[in-house]
A and B are shown apart, each in its own frame.
Chain A
């Protein structure tokens, strides 16, 4: 029996079109886009075409699109640019309590460099508390990082309210970094909002190949890592043309199919959440999440199985042919569930949680099978 893959938020299978594009280009276009000969120019043309395609998919101008090696690098670049030109008064960074490790952990470097890093508390469903954000926003804030969709629980931030708070804050608007790795191609979002300075994309989350991502910037930045000056100096290093083109292809596909994919995912998630709730003892995290709750991404859900540690259940499900994850795949071996704890989820529940994430080829039959196995194994192994 083939495996049931329910870890799309960690990494998604490449689409046929993206893989085809990647293989073709990797085989034939080995020129360096910075070279002035025929091969280089061919590569440069592909790079340009990819940039244009990404811009078109997102409804923005091309000069805002910068290619990187992935979501993590896209998050790091704006953060580390703060080290390049330190402002004597802008010494505070605000980061949401549920931010991805690529941003949250990077802030420890900035704290060592003298920045004051403050966490923006969230409500029990994981939304940034607008009042608390407003109180934290003073003239010393250099950057605010709030992810649009959380990778563990799927919570979608109330972008309109956050926009209001930021626009009403005193002094010059800080740099707003919005991690949209779990948003692009999945959740409708305006990538041209005037109050957001940076959006991030990761190719392999939306059906492209690993090794490419994008950073969408309102204005150019002075970056920390210099080199050959590629991507207008924003991200030096020979461009990964094949992966970048695959990103463009995958993004175009997913944007085009977004409405129907979203609807299908919502139906599947409804089926999944209802099914999980019918297993005695299981709690959805947060409990308030409805089966078809528009405050959450229909692609991601966290659920707690009290009496069983998340990693244990992951092993059991893996042995039964099902792939899920515990927390963020990027969190390494740490047992702390920072995101869930920020939502005041009790430690015992947080430790017994798994994350289930679906994608474009997930089927109702797979959800049913997962629920059947999860129920049986939870009853067997819970202590």
Chain B
């Protein structure tokens, strides 16, 4: 038995003459995500109608809850355009909600088919009357109802009540593809999620410092990437071996600059990789003033080693908000696993807070890390990470 899912677009509606392209991209993204599920997807008048067997409801829900580009979705009944059938559907939908404890209601009808006998107001009134007749405990409340019974008269009539919220935003890929600097911390996966929602597809870059960091730290990053992939589909995870570079920085740079220079080396590497792979931006989880390396002066320094757009979606957010999002998207519990991706020996006790731009540029350039970075890039290891959606609800 098929369930009909109605998807509600949001921001796409604002795209004016480009709307069609966004809709098409959303359609393509959704079809890809639903590959393993027998389904039918109809896009009509900017509306998405998805049919899938009810045995796949959990999987479909999971995908729809994580699909950038839709504001929400609902499981709908579909009937022919005759009043008794519509009434029957409305009664069933209300009964489901009543069983869930929702008593007061309102009916909202929309007529895409202006040829239908009853206008929206009359239809709502009729259905409201029938519901109250059948269920004496039902109450109409047009201001703050417990539940809204939605009726859309199109080529069929769609009746639905509870709708789930979506992640909103724009279809992944409409903004091109960027490179997320992914670590095992709380912030970078959340940054990735935010950018996916803005339509930026992602590849990921992790800087590995084995044996100073463990295999478990890498596994943790892979697990995080799998959760983020739940929102954007399969993604590449590139791992650069940065051990020698970290050692060189530790050995040849001033102690208080080790983290700063490490970030610069990361940006330099990310810049190269973006250009190699034709990606259009670098995404980081930096948040202003969160830690010593994340001051405006230090960011100016590190980002001076790339001319790519550096997107920092968390720049103006605080840790509590970031953690809240991390819990919501399912990355928090993984991020707090105790596998560090930076050895304590590489973190200075008194890190430089406000890099003197000219001075630090000169000092960093003297390290001449370019050849070592090229070497690291040449032996970059890449895997494709598949979406993992079990155990978390968006």
- Taking a contact as CB atoms under 8 Å apart, the answer to whether A312 and B338 are in contact is no
| Chain A residue at minimal CB-CB distance from B209 | A312
* Partner-binding segment picked from B20-28, B50-58, B339-347, B381-389: B339-347
- What are 24 inter-chain pairs, A to B, with CB distance below 8 A? A307-B345, A308-B345, A309-B212, A309-B343, A309-B344, A309-B345, A311-B214, A312-B211, A312-B212, A312-B343, A315-B210, A315-B211, A315-B214, A316-B211, A319-B211, A333-B338, A351-B344, A381-B211, A381-B212, A383-B247, A383-B250, A383-B251, A383-B345, A383-B346
Who on chain B is nearest to A319 by CB?
B211
Q: In the complex, A67→B162 CA distance in Å?
A: 60
**Which chain A residues border B211 with CB–CB below 8 Å?**
312, 315-316, 319, 381
Which residues of A have CB within 8 Å of B210?
315
Chain B residue numbers with a CB within 8 Å of A311 are 214
Nearest-Cβ distance from residue B274 to partner chain A, whole angstroms: 30
Majority-rule SS of A interface residues: helix
The interface residues of chain B lying within 8 Å CB-to-CB of A381 are 211-212
Closest residue of chain A to B250, judged by CB?
A383
Measured CA separation A316–B214 after assembly (Å): 10
Question: Using a CB–CB distance below 8 Å, which chain A residues touch chain B?
Answer: 307-309, 311-312, 315-316, 319, 333, 351, 381, 383
Closest Cβ of chain A: how far from B346's Cβ, in Å? 7
What residues of chain A lie closer than 8 Å to B212, measured between beta carbons? 309, 312, 381
- Interface set of B (CB-CB < 8 Å, partner A): 210-212, 214, 247, 250-251, 338, 343-346
Closest to B212 in A: A312
CA distance A311 to B213 in the complex (A): 9
Q: How far is the CA of A312 from the CA of B210 in the complex (A)?
A: 8
Chain B residue contacts of A319, Cβ below 8 A: 211
Given the complex of chains A and B, what is the CA–CA distance between A380 and B338 in angstroms?
26
Contacts of A315 in B (CB 8 A): 210-211, 214
Closest residue to B213 on the A side, CB-wise?
A: A312
Q: B247 contacts which chain A residues (CB < 8 A)? A: 383
Which B residues touch A333, using CB under 8 A? 338
CA distance A316 to B206 in the complex (A): 21
Q: Complex formed: what's the CA distance from A351 to B250 in Å?
A: 18
Q: A307-B345, A311-B214, A315-B211 are in contact. List 11 more A-B contacts (CB 8 A).
A: A309-B343, A309-B344, A309-B345, A312-B211, A315-B210, A316-B211, A333-B338, A381-B211, A383-B250, A383-B251, A383-B346
A308 to B210, CA, bound (A): 13
CB distance from A335 to the nearest CB of B (A): 8
A178 to chain B minimum Cβ distance, whole angstroms, is 33
Residues from chain A with a CB closer than 8 A to the CB of B338 are 333
Docked complex Cα distance between A308 and B250 (Å): 13
Q: Would you list the 7 A-B pairs with minimal beta carbon distance, nearest first?
A: A315-B211, A333-B338, A316-B211, A383-B345, A383-B250, A312-B212, A312-B211
Write the chain B residue with the least CB distance to A377.
B211
| Minimum CB–CB distance for A320 against chain B, Å | 10
Of B250, B343, B345, B346, the most chain A CB neighbours within 10 A belong to B345
Could you say which of A312, A333, A351 has the most chain B C-beta atoms within 10 Å of its C-beta?
Answer: A312
Least Cβ–Cβ distance between B105 and chain A, in angstroms = 52
Whole-angstrom distance from the CB of A304 to the nearest CB of chain B?
A: 14
Query: In the docked arrangement, what's the CA distance between A381 and B246, Å?
Result: 11
Question: A382 → chain B, closest Cβ, in Å?
Answer: 9
B343: which A residues are within 8 A, CB to CB? Answer: 309, 312
**Residues in B whose Cβ lies below 8 Å from that of A312:** 211-212, 343
| CA A316 to CA B211, docked complex, whole Å | 6
CB distance from B149 to the nearest CB of A (A): 53
Q: Tell me how far the C-beta of A353 lies from the nearest C-beta in chain B, rounded to whole angstroms.
A: 14
Return chain A residues, CB-CB under 8 Å to B251: 383
**Which of B247, B251, B346 has the most CB atoms of chain A within a 10 A radius of its CB?**
B247
Per the bound structure, the CA–CA distance linking A312 and B215 in Å amounts to 11
Q: In the assembled complex, how far is the CB of residue A381 from the closest CB belonging to chain B, in whole angstroms? A: 7
Q: Roughly how many angstroms separate A319 CA and B215 CA in the complex, as a whole number?
A: 12
B258 closest partner in A (C-beta): A383
Q: Which residues of the partner chain B approach A351 to less than 8 Å between Cβ atoms?
A: 344
Q: Given the complex of chains A and B, what is the CA–CA distance between A315 and B209 in angstroms?
A: 12
Q: How far is the CB of A316 from chain B (nearest CB, A)?
A: 5
**How far apart are the CA atoms of A55 and B338 in the complex, in Å?**
44
Least Cβ–Cβ distance between A325 and chain B, in angstroms: 15
Which A residues are CB-close (under 8 A) to B344?
Answer: 309, 351
A351→B251 CA distance, assembly (Å): 20
CA distance A383 to B344 in the complex (A): 11
Residues of B within 8 Å of A316, CB to CB, are 211
Distance between Cα atoms of A311 and B212 in the complex (Å): 8
Q: How far is the CB of A141 from chain B (nearest CB, A)?
A: 36
Most buried by A among B211, B214, B338, B346: B211
Nearest CB on A from B355, distance (A): 22
Residue of A nearest to B243 (CB): A381
CA distance A312 to B341 in the complex (A): 12
Can you name the residue of chain B whose Cβ is closest to the Cβ of A334? B338
- Measured CB to CB, the nearest residue on chain B to A311 is B214
Closest approach, in angstroms, between the C-beta of B251 and any C-beta of chain A?
8
CB-CB < 8 A to A309: which residues of B?
212, 343-345
A311 to B215, CA, bound (A): 12
- The residue on A at minimum CB distance from B346 is A383
Chain B: minimal CB distance from A31 (Å): 43
Q: Which residues of A contact B250 (CB under 8 A)?
A: 383
Interchain CA distance A311-B217 in the complex, whole Å: 13
Q: Please, how many angstroms separate the alpha-carbon atoms of A42 and B107 in the complex?
A: 77
Residues of B within 8 A of A383 (CB): 247, 250-251, 345-346
CA gap between A126 and B148 in the complex, in Å:
72
What is the CA–CA distance of A316 and B212 in the complex, to the nearest angstrom?
9
- What is the distance, in angstroms, from B348's C-beta to the closest C-beta of chain A? 12
Closest beta carbon of chain B to A35's beta carbon, Å: 44
**Looking across the interface, which residue of chain B has its beta carbon closest to that of A308?**
B345
> How far apart sit A312 and B246, CA to CA, in the bound complex (Å)?
14
B147 nearest CB across to chain A (Å):
47
Chain A residue at minimum C-beta to C-beta distance from B214: A315
Q: Which residues of B contact A307 (CB under 8 A)?
A: 345
Residue of A nearest to B247 (CB): A383
**B337, closest chain A residue (CB):** A333
Give the shortest distance, in Å, between B210 (CB) and chain A (any CB).
7
In the bound assembly, the distance between CA atoms of A312 and B247 in angstroms comes to 14
